[in-house]
Amino acid sequence: MEVEAPSLAPPCVSTPPMEFNLSTHPGKLSRGFYNYGPPKNGLVTPPVELDEPEKKGPETLPPYPLPPKSRQQSVLPEDLKTPDHHVERDPRLIRLTGVHPFNVEAPLKDLYDEGFLTTKDLHYVRNHGPVPQVQDSEVLGWEFTVEGLVEKPVRMSLRDLILDYDQVTYPITLVCAGNRRKEQNVVRKTKGFSWGAAGVSTALWTGVALGDLLARAIPTRGARYVYFEGADKLPNGYYGTSIKLNWAMDPNRGIMVSYKMNGEILHPDHGKPLRIVIPGQIGGRSVKWLKRIIVTSQPSDNWYHIYDNRVLPTMISPEASADLPDTWKDERYAIYDLNTNSATCYPGHDEKIALGGVSDGGYKFRGYAYAGGGKRVTRMEVSLDQGKTWTLANITYPEDQYRLASDNEVLYGGRVDLSWREACFCWCFWDLDIPLSQLRDAKDVVIRAMDDSMMVQPRDMYWSVLGMMNNPWYRVVIHNEGDFLRFEHPTQPALMPGGWMERVKKEGGNLTNAFWGEKLSNESDSSTAEEPAKEIIMTNPKISREITLEELREHEGEHEPWFVVNGQVYDGTAFLEGHPGGASSIINAAAQDVSEEFLAIHSENAKAMMPTYHIGFLSADSLSKLSLPASQTSPSTSVFLSPKTWTSATLTSKTSISPDTKIFSLTLPSPEQSLGLPVGQHLFLRIPGSAGLIRAYTPIAHTKGRVDILIKIYSPSTPTQPAGLTHALDLLPVPSTLQLKGPLGKFVYSFPGQCHLNSKPVQVEKFYMICAGSGITPIYQVLCAVLDNAADKTECTVLYGNREEHDILLRTELDRLAQNEDKRTDGPRCKLVYTLTKPGSEWKGQKGRIDKAFLEREVGKKQEGAMVLVCGPKGMEDAVRGVLMDGGPEGLGWGGEDLVFF
């Protein structure tokens, strides 16, 4: 029947039930569409559009927190070319695994500032692959099953779930098992990516108690586990996992099948339209995009249940773990309940507090804590002397305010049923005022939490192969810098630089010595030696397909390119769009054995991604026949470089231009040969017979028959350290033979105002060229192409950072280019800015790092027709990326096609 428009009701008041035919209700899904009261005789309350709480008088406000208002979101530019092009997201979120898949956390301070409840905007996200796309019109028809060891298997829709079952709403904190993993990765690389301390969020979830569903299905004798499977199709099947059946049936555990988050239909990243939500357990058990609930006698055999969310014994290394299938299947190592953990949010990383001679002032330290399995955090302790003495901090429990709700109170269509529960589902907050006089004299502030089973956070880290459940004391270092105190957190998330752990490790400290890397008087130098890097497993243990040479060669074109590394075959199709080296890097490798180049060039993170793209192995016979010419020395072609073949040139001179940098000049086989390298691209260089010694370079000049390459020399720091390519090059006699291969890269400067990015034309009116050290070489190449063409109107701002003045490479050439521009009658096209971190007394230029203040001053917010080119050390590139890609209200907003990293 049709229903008249209901009157408005406050969110904490139940509306009397009325007849409501869901199938005839208009299909528009708004925030209030699911605000049904408790069902009665199969009927539900009609939709209620809620007033905003701040518009009500004091008497209508509930006794518990309501969620902050979400921001209006849009699809971000970086997502447009991914399978998630339909998902709206907040640009403040920090991406932990590149553009796709979407794994993010909020800036720690922003997360804390939202309070007890987290909006969907800043709630952390853990996605293993593409987000399933579900239209609003399909939400109520979404079907799932309850099957397996049950007497009454069920297939139902979300509409049935809403009509036929009691609805509940309560706050639940979800935590990724990888929260704080960056700390483990700094000590020793795990198989997981680098979460900071914001892999935790809290929301109000509305849905149906899982136990109610299972009770109707009636589990049979022998049923012990419940397996959940989502709709997200991944390389190893659909994501799935299981928990114990008695947990699922226990109402005190609060496990629910949820369709609303903070009163709104689920956001796509959070499982739209239906998910499992499990309080007190790791987020990996709360399966999103729910399709199947299966009652079983054994734990799930899903690949993701076995090879994810485990804490293996600490002595098992990443490479050894690949050969231990029985260890992975051992349920003793599976993670369910969260362990007790905490973090400091204020002061933030690098926050400064002015001293100003005040002796009796103080600073309020603040942060969060949580426990698992329904336990309560009962104690927060703070130490200023590295654990010798402790002070109790204050703890607040906003969750307890929901226990004050009146009987049968309804929020967002579900009963707020916490009054009878002893279990705790949520995080709490702690604070402590510490006098500045005490902070001035302390080296650090450490915190630890204890739960009601008297389990306390440990002092030391338990390192494990997946980097899960990291919960040692959270330590913030204090730097007394005269007029102010500066605070330093352990790490920063993802690839963002910073934190005392990275600093200590770079200084040679041993982070596992139980004193946070501080050198002990009886500690030998050998104890601080960094463990040698070990090879990462790049194969999928479930893949056993044998591929013939004929099959491989069917994929040697630009469509679905396959390539071989160490005898294993990988499908490079997914790399074509987002590969940092451009699609040409993948296409050039098609149907080839590229083991040497791949292993020499790629990072541990890149190698760790390879199991996702592993499709089989090359048969022994095919591998023996897969032979490519090692090099080409004949000057028979007019273009020297070949993208698939190493070509030989002669090293004819080495010219020092700084204490650790030289220009290596090479002669091509024929004086009439051109190099064949487009502006903005680079080439591989190797010494014949030196396996694994390969690096990519951008020549600073090339003419017919000749090429000049600027190379910074990195000598071994100890007599036992193996020499790298640059040191080996420095030792070569003149003449010697070197081999080159290329071109490769995703960026090309074609002609005035025209670039190509991954073969797509892009118009440019202005370049911001940001570089440091030898990163000047690709910048210099593009700068010369622009400024040597009098007709080119493209403007260039070069921002070049170094340590000391003698480290500025190609300074004479750069100054000449800038001086020539000053003479142009129509105005200069080039602005040249040098900045030094350790300037001498005579230095007149800018001082300091290429940091946020520098970039805000010299680059500013994203501009139409402008492009940023970046090349330099990893730390500098990460810092630039973090500042320029910050899309928040105060951010600069660069990204996508206007931000290129060489």
**Torsion angle of alpha carbons 162, 165, 169, 170, nearest 10°?**
-140
Q: Would residue 670 be called left, alpha or beta, if left means φ above 0 and alpha means ψ between -120 and 50 degrees?
A: beta
Q: Which residue has the higher pLDDT, 520 or 331?
A: 331
Class for the domain spanning 748-901: alpha beta
Q: Note the pLDDT tens digit of each residue in 73-109.
A: 999 998 888 889 999 999 999 999 878 889 999 999 9
Check whether the bond before 101 is cis (ω within 30° of 0).
Answer: yes
Q: Give the pLDDT band of residue 522 (cuts 50, 70, 90).
A: low
Instruction: With cut-offs at 50, 70 and 90, classify the pLDDT of residue 894.
Output: confident
Which residue spans within 131-280 are E strands per DSSP? 143-148, 154-157, 168-175, 200-209, 225-234, 237-244, 256-261, 264-265, 275-277
Give the pLDDT confidence of 630-674 residue by residue, as tens digits.
Answer: 444 445 578 998 887 888 899 999 898 888 899 999 999 989 899
Residues 883 and 855 sit within 8 Å (Cβ to Cβ):
yes
Q: Residues 422-453: pLDDT tens digits?
A: 999 999 999 999 999 999 999 999 999 999 99
**Per-residue confidence (pLDDT) for residue 603, from 0 to 100:** 65
pLDDT of the residue at 750? 85
Torsion of the alpha carbons at 238, 143, 43 and 261, rounded to the nearest 10: 30
pLDDT in tens, 194-237: 999 999 999 999 999 999 999 999 999 999 999 999 999 887 88
- Residues 198 and 491 sit within 8 Å (Cβ to Cβ): no
CA distance linking residue 487 with residue 442, whole number of Å: 11
First to last CA, the chain: 63
Residue 156 confidence (pLDDT) above 60: yes
- Percentages helix, strand, coil for the chain, rounded to the nearest 5? 20, 30, 50
Distances (CA, A) of 26 to 3, 137, 296: 11, 10, 39
Q: Radius of gyration (Cα) for the chain, nearest Å? A: 30
- Fold entry, domain 546-621: Flavocytochrome B2; Chain A, domain 1 (3.10.120)
- Write out the H or E segment, with its range, that includes residue 598: helix 595-601
Handedness of CA 95, 96, 98, 99 (dihedral sign): negative
- Count of CB atoms situated within 10 Å of the CB of 460: 11
Q: How far apart are CA 181 and CA 190, in angstroms?
A: 9
Token output for 727? 């040191």
**Cβ atoms of 267 and 120 closer than 8 Å:** yes
Cite the annotated binding site by residue number.
176
Under the banding of pLDDT at 50, 70 and 90, the label for residue 36 is very low
Of the pLDDT bands very low, low, confident and very high (cuts 50, 70, 90), residue 42 is very low
Task: Report whether pLDDT(727) > 90.
Answer: no
- In this predicted structure, the answer to whether residue 528 has a pLDDT above a threshold of 50 is no
Residue 8 has pLDDT above 50, yes or no: no
Helix (H) or strand (E) holding 856: helix 852-858
Secondary structure class of 319 (helix, strand, coil): helix
pLDDT confidence of residue 39: 35
Tell me the C-alpha distance between 291 and 275, whole Å.
9
Asked whether 41 and 65 are in contact (CB, 8 A), the reply is: no
Q: Where are the alpha helices (DSSP H) in 393-491?
A: 436-441
The yes-or-no verdict on residue 35 having pLDDT over 90 is no
Strand partners, 667: 650, 706
Identify the bridge partners of residue 866 per DSSP, sorted by sequence position: 766
**Nearest Cα to 224, choosing from 149, 312, 281?**
149
Contacts of 818 (CB under 8 A, 6+ apart): 828, 830, 831, 832
Predicted pLDDT at 692: 56
Confidence of residue 600 (pLDDT cuts 50, 70, 90): low
342-to-15, 431, 473 alpha-carbon distances in Å = 40, 12, 8
Q: Is the peptide bond before 580 cis (omega within 30 degrees of 0)?
A: no
With 50 as the cut, is the pLDDT of residue 515 above it?
A: yes
The alpha-helical segments, DSSP class H, found in 132-228 are 158-164, 181-187, 210-217
Q: Is the pLDDT of residue 529 over 60?
A: no
> What mean pLDDT is predicted for residues 787-811?
93
**Would you tell me how many other CB atoms lie within 10 Å of the CB of residue 423?**
16
pLDDT for residue 802? 94
> Encoding tokens for residue 848?
């300091």
| 819-858: pLDDT as tens digits | 988 888 888 899 999 999 999 999 999 999 999 899 999 9
pLDDT band at 733 (very low <50, low <70, confident <90, very high): confident
Tell me which residues are annotated as active site. 176, 308-309
Q: What pLDDT, on a 0 to 100 scale, did the predictor assign at position 775?
A: 92
Q: Are 588 and 644 in contact (CB under 8 A)?
A: yes
| pLDDT at 357 (0 to 100) | 53
In this chain, the answer to whether the domains covering 341-494 and 647-744 adopt an identical fold is: no
Q: Is the pLDDT at 66 greater than 80, yes or no?
A: yes
Quote the distance between the C-alpha of residue 247 and its chain's center: 32
Tokens 């003698």 belong to residue? 806
708 with 675: CB under 8 angstroms? no
Distance in angstroms (rounded) separating the CA atoms of residues 112 and 382: 19
List of E strands, 143-191: 143-148, 154-157, 168-175
For the chain, percent of residues with pLDDT exceeding 70: 85
Confidence of residue 810 (pLDDT cuts 50, 70, 90): very high
Name the residue among 154, 141, 168 with its Cα closest to residue 273: 141
Q: Which residues pair with 752 in a beta bridge?
A: none
Q: Does residue 33 have a pLDDT over 50?
A: no
- CA 237, distance to chain mean position in Å, is 23
Residue 16 DSSP symbol:
P
φ/ψ of 883, rounded to 5, equals -80, -50
Closest CA to 700 of 829, 850, 812: 812
Under DSSP, the state recorded for 176 is: -
Residue 45 has pLDDT above 60, yes or no: no
- Distance CA(176)–CA(178), nearest Å, equals 5
The 8-class DSSP code of residue 334 comes to: B
Tell me: pLDDT of 675 over 50.
Answer: yes
Mean pLDDT of the chain: 85
What length is written for the chain?
A: 902
CATH for 341-494, options being 2.60.40.10, 1.10.3720.10, 2.60.40.650, 3.40.140.10 = 2.60.40.650
Per-residue confidence band for 816, with pLDDT thresholds at 50, 70 and 90: very high
Instruction: Please state, in angstroms and rounded to a whole number, the distance separating the CA atoms of residues 653 and 645.
Output: 24
Who's near 54: CB < 8 A, 6+ residues apart?
none
Answer for the pair 734, 651: CB distance below 8 angstroms, yes or no.
Answer: yes
Q: What is the helix (H) or strand (E) element at residue 770, kind and residue range?
A: strand 766-772
pLDDT above 70 for 25: no
Burial of 672 (0-12, 13-18, 19+ CB in 10 A): exposed
Residue range 647-744 forms a domain whose CATH class is: mainly beta
143: pLDDT confidence band, cut at 50, 70 and 90? very high
pLDDT at res. 87:
97
- Report the 10 Å Cβ neighbour count for 152: 8
Q: Known binding site for Mo-molybdopterin: residues?
A: 176
Percentage of the chain exceeding pLDDT 90: 56
- pLDDT, one tens digit per residue, over 452-499 is 999 999 999 999 999 999 999 999 999 999 889 999 999 999 888 899
CB 611 within 8 A of CB 644: no
Say how far apart CA 553 and CA 590 lie, in whole Å. Answer: 8
Tokens standing for 570? Answer: 């990988």
Which residues, 6 or more positions from 291, have their beta carbon under 8 angstroms from its beta carbon? 143, 144, 145, 229, 230, 231, 238
DSSP track, 559-572: SS-EEEETTEEEE-
What gap in Å lies between CA 868 and CA 387, rounded to an integer?
Answer: 47
Can you give the three-state secondary structure of 565-624, one letter per residue? ECCEEEECCCHHHHCCCCHHHHHHHCCCECHHHHHHHCCHHHHHHHHHHEEEEECHHHHH
Domain ranges of the chain: 94-310+318-333, 341-494, 497-527, 546-621, 647-744, 748-901
Among 157-161, 192-196, 580-584, the range with the most confident prediction by mean pLDDT is 157-161
Least confident of 183-192, 354-363, 830-839, 877-886: 354-363
Topology of domain 94-310+318-333, CATH: Sulfite Oxidase; Chain A, domain 2 (3.90.420)
The amino acid at residue 486 is R
Q: In this structure, are residues 90 and 122 in contact, taking their beta carbons and an 8 Å threshold? A: yes
**What is the CB neighbour count within 10 angstroms for residue 750?**
14
What is the spatial distance between Cα 633 and Cα 640, in angstroms, rounded to a whole number? Answer: 9
The top-scoring range by mean pLDDT among 214-223, 323-332, 594-603, 704-713 is 214-223
DSSP state string for 754-807: EEEETTEEEE-SEEEEEEEGGGHHHHHHHHHHHHT-TT---EEEEEEEESSGGG
In 3D space, the residue among 10, 6, 4, 5 whose CA is nearest the CA of residue 51 turns out to be 10
**Other Cβ atoms closer than 10 A to 123:** 25
